[in-house]
Amino acid sequence: MNAPEGRRRATVHDVALEAGVSRGTISRYMNGERYVSAEARLAIEAAIEKVGYVPNGAARNLAARRSMAVGFIVHEPHALFLEDPNIGSIMLGANTALSAADYQMVTLIVDSERDTERVARYLSGGFIDGAVIVSARTKDPISRAVERLAMPSAFVGHPPGVLAAYVGVDNRGAAKAITERLVATGRRRIGMIAAALDRDSGSDRLAGFTSALGSRFDPALVEEVPLYSYAAGVAGMQRLLQRAPDLDGVFAASDAVAAGAIEALRMAGRRVPEDVGVVGFDDSTWATRTQPPLSTVHQPAEGLGRAAAEAVLTQLETGDLTFTGTMLPTPIVWRASA
Amino acid sequence: MNAPEGRRRATVHDVALEAGVSRGTISRYMNGERYVSAEARLAIEAAIEKVGYVPNGAARNLAARRSMAVGFIVHEPHALFLEDPNIGSIMLGANTALSAADYQMVTLIVDSERDTERVARYLSGGFIDGAVIVSARTKDPISRAVERLAMPSAFVGHPPGVLAAYVGVDNRGAAKAITERLVATGRRRIGMIAAALDRDSGSDRLAGFTSALGSRFDPALVEEVPLYSYAAGVAGMQRLLQRAPDLDGVFAASDAVAAGAIEALRMAGRRVPEDVGVVGFDDSTWATRTQPPLSTVHQPAEGLGRAAAEAVLTQLETGDLTFTGTMLPTPIVWRASA
DNA sequence: TTGAAAGCGGTACCAT
DNA sequence: ATGGTACCGCTTTCAA
């Protein structure tokens, strides 16, 4: 401890005494309200400086019944949290929007049963006025808490199981669009490495692929892998190549998968894009690290975070928690892999 | 809103009335203290259920003067936050330790001047009892706040500018060790792609390299690049190759840099490890994605987070904020790139 | 424009 | 084991 043991932290009371005004006036000054005379202001500023006053957040929250903080809740499996290249961008995007509105973003990560309970309590505890939620789960204790508290909130990624605002992208439409683009380059035998079919994003991307191909769709050209990972991409491509050696185009469910696929193709002696055209999904850091760089679907991660935060802010301002679903555009970025 | 507009949230008071005991007893029950009879316990549990009581965190913090929350403060430049493969692991490691001690970890991102001020206020506001800090800065308003408040804290990565606990790795020693290992494989002309020399980690790794080579050190074989990035690795390797075509070994300042270097070597027609042996630093996800996989220094990211959190917890328990510096071991992981 | 006073929802000490 | 009762530090009417 640096501070002398006996010295309490200064309170509004101390400032009031020092400045010769009432606590009410201090409060008004602190909150930038009108009705504070110039002289009072000056006296208060001097007093604050002199006694070293720093407001106590808990007391403030208690009395005002709001915290000026919004939670950013990440509820993804351990591995996914580390792998997902988008999550950091979503976070920064949300922080940008909240910061501009002078809200403190507090990120809570849920990585165990214990965390789930504790975070749910945190939500109920009045520490945050709203929440942006990035979650693979639906209808878990956290979503329930948000629902029960009627807390301003927005989900990112998947539509929530509960009735709440939601910001996402049209995975199906985007997958369809990039597949069509690949078809347009003249490829005849196009396969897909479909990943994470247990998640909406995964199954939607497959659905988009199927629908783009229409009658030309051949189920034998779809290889399923469990995760959006590099390793899964390598393995998936190898199996696909074995089943369909004549294939000349591949839609990988994510950039990481595409990177793995390119590696597998290289090992098999196929050239990209000459022999096989490859397209990915996400436009993550992977996209520019492969050789050749990936043609892919741009995922507006930062925009998702910002939009979700803004949805929360709007609910906070208007008090209207009406459900809204927003889809952000996903432009295709055409590079050299197809 | 689900709740009828008029219905207040239940308070201890309501529970006390319903259960027919005093508020003090409720408090004791809630905090798991002894001296609560079985009958009282039962009555309280029923009452809580009936009135739908959820404790108010702000009130609790105010009265108890503690929050049972620890901040995890990330103060890295925008780009670095996204690139750094370690930060997620550090976060999860810290969360694991805090969660086990029943503390809520709240992550605060500092991404602008505005954030700096707001986060500093948050620290002073009594919302958290301690902080784990991952920061490129030293002596900024946040470190100052931590110091001024004599708040239990631990810095991860670089030694802090202020007197506080610190958990890190011996970059110099680790760099020396892996360079020596590279020398032991018989390489004669070993170069280094040194990165981020403006940061401790960067300059320490270079120092370790230099010291390992001793009298055989040739300054012409050191190429400096600004960032720990893939692109910097490509560019750095190309320049190095131009200056020293006879080089047969490279120590890259990070795995990302090493991955870039391998790509540049491939483009130049050199085989790895036959013609040139390459080693990296971090043992991040990059390490197993290169072809061949990287021999590198393992960075115990999750352990860093856990150790830092534990340092904070210890200070919290003992009240002793004595400075401690801890270095975690960094084993060498030998794969196929050298 | 300002002061007084009543909360906000708990905790913790003390007497019983 | 329990109840009573001062606070914790700030906000917010309301009257002046």
Work out the average pLDDT over A21-42.
88
Nucleotide nearest to B25 (CA to C1'): D2
Mean pLDDT to the nearest integer, A328-336: 97
**pLDDT (tens digit, 9 = 90+) per residue, A169-201?**
999 999 999 999 999 999 999 999 999 998 889
Q: How much is the average pLDDT of B195-205?
A: 92
**Choice between A308 and A140, residue whose per-residue pLDDT is larger:** A308
pLDDT exceeds cutoff 80 at A93:
yes
Partner B, chain A 159-218, Cβ-Cβ below 8 Å: none
- Strands (E) in A176-253, as ranges, are 190-195, 222-225, 249-252
End-to-end distance of chain A based on CA atoms, in angstroms?
A: 63
**Please, what is the Cα angle at B92 between B91 and B95, to 5 degrees?**
85
B19 CA, C11 C1': separation in Å? Answer: 19
Q: What is the pLDDT of residues A282-306, one digit of tens each?
A: 999 889 888 899 999 999 999 999 9
Q: Which two tokens stand for residue A65?
A: 């019944």
Q: What pTM does this model have?
A: 0.91
Gyration radius of chain A over CA positions: 26
Question: A47-57, pLDDT tens digit by residue?
Answer: 999 999 999 99
Closest-approach residue (CA) in chain A for B292: A263
- How large a percentage of chain B has pLDDT more than 90? 71
> In A, which residues are within 8 Å of B127 by CB distance?
57-58, 127
CA dihedral B147, B152, B94, A141 (to 10 degrees): -110
Chain A residues within 8 A of B59 when measuring between CB atoms? 58, 62
- Nearest CA to B73 among B28, B126, B115, B13? B115
pLDDT band at A7 (very low <50, low <70, confident <90, very high): low
A54 touches chain B (CB under 8 A): yes
Q: From its phi and psi, is residue A20 left (phi > 0), alpha (psi between -120 and 50) or beta?
A: left
A39 touches strand C (CB under 7 A): yes
What is the percent of chain A with per-residue pLDDT over 70, rounded to a whole number?
97
Does a cis peptide bond (omega within 30 degrees of 0) precede residue B292? yes
Instruction: Give the pLDDT of residue A297.
Output: 98
User: With a 7 Å cutoff on the CB, does A66 touch strand C?
Assistant: no
- Greatest Cα-to-Cα distance within chain A, rounded to the nearest angstrom: 87
Q: Is the CB of A56 under 7 A from strand C?
A: no
For residues B124 and A176, which has the higher predicted lDDT (pLDDT)?
A: A176
B253-284 burial, b if ≥16 CB within 10 A, otherwise e? Answer: bbbbbbbbbbbbbeeeebebbeebbbbbbbbb
Range scoring the smallest mean pLDDT among A89-103, A241-255, B41-55: B41-55
Average pLDDT over residues A206-227: 96
Q: b vs e for B136-151, b when ≥16 Cβ sit within 10 Å of the residue's Cβ? A: bbeebbbbebbbbbeb
- Residue with the larger pLDDT of the pair B8 and B39: B39
Give the pLDDT band (50/70/90) at residue B7: low
d(CA A90, CA B89): 18
**pLDDT tens per residue across span A150-174:** 899 999 987 776 778 999 999 999 9
List the single range of B6-15, B19-28, B52-61, B73-82 with lowest mean pLDDT: B6-15
Q: Which nucleotide is nearest to B27 (CA to C1')?
A: C11
